[in-house]
Structure 1
């Protein structure tokens, strides 16, 4: 039997195996916080204890790879950096907690239910549960859709720091996918702000004709939004107005159960 190559604890990692540049690059990313979403090169150097030259190389690498952006003076993270967190969301702990709750929600509502995260300008579905019906919504795990066109996307955009939301709106191209799709950035910002204020979002046939959906945020134990929980229904069966009743109540209960389970 071959010995395991994985160390049993962090203390067993030798200096030879330690990649210092990776560790310092992660420090640069972690220097950005909700209260410090935009910083100058000097501010990041002070926050990390690195030299300006070292920080500059890491930042320009992040910019080139699409994880950060700069206006020439200030640097900020782009929504793509959330892809780094997708590994954690995809881990067995998160999905093992979320999937049974998602399945129970689909059984209770008899509608298709989904969990999704933001990945760049797209919404990325990480889990689903089918309804007890002959025909279910045809969205599979791994599907990507434009974030602006779906309730899950708008709910997660609402959780972004203001600078990241501004960057998204500045860069995204709003394509008309159906007659209902919102293509005005001013209108989209207003709808995202509504989702933030209400803590839920309803979208009526903007990604695909015939489908309406409602979403609520899923938070970790610290209150940070880590995903969006979604119910998608044929618009002929349930109107957007109807979604604000029992479906919203069940969605919020399921979201709270996921948060509580993640704390154990």
Structure 2
């Protein structure tokens, strides 16, 4: 009989250690024990044990007053990336795409209600927040997120939206589930998606889906640019055909790789 994640197979101390790791961020690169305990909701003694366990295996450091993550923590993220053939397959395609259009390109997958960047070719910084591997954004407000949502069945989308808060990020943001369903249906019908200044003012992007051998959407790619650099017409006329072609090529190579190991 299969055990659930909340059953006897759960290791609570391991889960607490992951909570401690996630408490560090660009805004909190170094924290005191009290700050870690407050950020995670753990008792100070529990947070301290987790921190010192991380230190013992080389994932964290301390000067006796503050704690921080070490570069070795990247091993955890790269373990995922190295286990995913899609990221390796997509890399040269994204490089060619960025070279062709002269803008940054990315590959993202869905994780909960967010997209997570797993490939990125950066040409210039386009947002106030630096985008790197592992960066997360609300899926509903991004072109890649909407493209992945467009691959869901109506029932799957309804279930997904139960956890989505369509809060306003910019004056252009979609702020209701009914609006979101409409734009997702449009993305599904046309096979691509453009989001214009809904995630951040001055940012627009175009995305297309990446599919596996069964035709299921497993990821999405995009090209992003600033409104001051390229007008919306350029996205339709130049970027869109290149993004669609690249997504189709990645999908074809991914499907071929899947068939070769199946």
TM-score, normalising length from structure 2? 0.65
Q: Which residue in the other structure is 1:208 paired with?
A: 200
Q: Which residue is 1:74 aligned to?
A: none
Consecutive unaligned residues in structure 1, runs of 5 or more: 1-20, 26-56, 62-86
1:101 to 90, 93, 102: 93
Matches within 5 A, 1:67-78: none
State the 1:161 CA deviation: 2.0
CA distance in 2, matches of 1:212, 1:147: 15
- Aligned residue pairs: how many? 185
Output aligned runs, 1:100-249, within 5 Å.
100-131=92-123, 135-137=125-127, 138-249=130-241
Instruction: Say whether the 8 Å CA contact 1:90–1:126 is kept in structure 2.
Output: no
Cα shift at 1:123: 1.0
Q: Distance in 1 between matches of 2:144 and 2:248?
A: 17
> 1:198-240: per-residue Cα shift (whole Å, max 9, x none)?
1100001111111001100011222111110100100122233
CA distance in 1, matches of 2:80, 2:215: 16
Whether the aligned pair in 2 keeps the contact of 1:148 and 1:154 (CA below 8 Å) is yes
The verdict on how the C-alpha distance between 1:166 and 1:92 changes in structure 2, with shifts beyond 3 A counting, is: closer
Separation (CA, whole Å) in 1 of partners of 2:214 and 2:165: 33
Q: Secondary structure at the match of 1:208?
A: coil
Work out whether residues 112 and 231 of structure 1, in 8 Å CA contact, stay in contact via their aligned partners in 2: yes
SS in structure 2 of the partner of residue 245 of structure 1: helix
Say if 1:212 and 1:239, in contact at 8 Å, map to a contact too. Answer: no
**Please, what is the CA RMSD of the aligned residues?**
2.4
Shift of 1:170: 2.8
Matches of 1:123 and 1:92, distance apart in 2: 16
Give CA deviations for 1:161-199 in whole Å, capped at 9, x if unaligned: 221200122331111111111102111110000000011
Q: Report the Cα distance in structure 2 between the residues aligned to 1:93 and 1:199, rounded to whole angstroms.
A: 24
Take 2:198 and 2:140, find their aligned partners in 1: how far apart are those partners? Answer: 9
SS of alignment partner, residue 242 of structure 1: helix
User: Contact 2:117–2:135 (CA<8 Å) still a contact in 1?
Assistant: yes
Q: Secondary structure at the match of 1:168?
A: helix
8 Å Cα contact 2:114/2:136 also seen in 1: yes
Taking a change above 3 Å as real, the CA distance of residues 116 and 109 of structure 1, as seen in their structure-2 partners, is: same
Structure 1 segments of 4+ aligned residues over 6 angstroms from their partners: none
Aligned to 2:178, the other structure's residue is in SS state: helix
| Partner in structure 1 of residue 37 of structure 2 | none
